[in-house]
Amino acid sequence: MARDAPLAAEARWAELLYERSRAALAGGASPFVALLVREGALVAEAANEVRQRCDPTAHAELLAIRRACAALATRDLTGATLLTSCEPCLMCLGAALAARLARICYGLPLARLAELLPSFRPAGAGERPPDVARSMEMARLRRPDFEPLFVAWTRGREVRDPASTGGIEQ
């Protein structure tokens, strides 16, 4: 179901997403970033804030959806596209369904992240609720290539935090 290339209109958002992810990594954070686009405009963006907030639900995708809803004073994001540097977890897919997003474009597949970081145990990695296939389009962003950002991050993390075996803060 996933398509290999983003729509032309989404290519520039993919570039912005990459820049935001790269900047987050350069700032010492993880490269998990999400953008919420609707009707050709950027409505919201967010980075992973799990550690800062001590909140395991503070994934970039979920925060971007919350901010977009707040900015537009709606709980219905019909027609909107979520662009995210890594394939969303089940929690974020559930939030995307609740918000009625039309489309999700993601960079790194979760399965690849699990290979880069063997301690990573995402809930339902690689699984998608049946509702996702019925009501939302999922497309992988091939360009830019987000994998090098995650490679750099997982290597840095292993160096900085060698004792950590407790998973990852997506």
Catalytic amino acids?
61
- Residue number with CB closer to Zn ion (16 or 91): 91
- 138 within 8 A of 104, measured Cβ to Cβ: yes
Cβ of residue 97: shortest distance to Zn ion, in angstroms? Answer: 13
Using the minimum distance from each CB to Zn ion, give the nearer residue, 12 or 121: 121
- Residue 14 CA to residue 88 CA, distance in Å, equals 16
Q: Which stretch binds Zn ion (CB under 5 A): 21-29, 90-98, 112-120, 133-141?
A: 90-98
Joined together, the tokens standing for residue 152 give 């750099």
Q: Judged by CB under 5 A, does residue 99 bind Zn ion?
A: no
Please, which residues have CB within 8 angstroms of residue 71's CB and are 6 or more apart in sequence? Answer: 43, 44
Does 24 help bind Zn ion (rule: CB under 5 A)?
no
Min dist CB 162 to Zn ion, Å, is 25
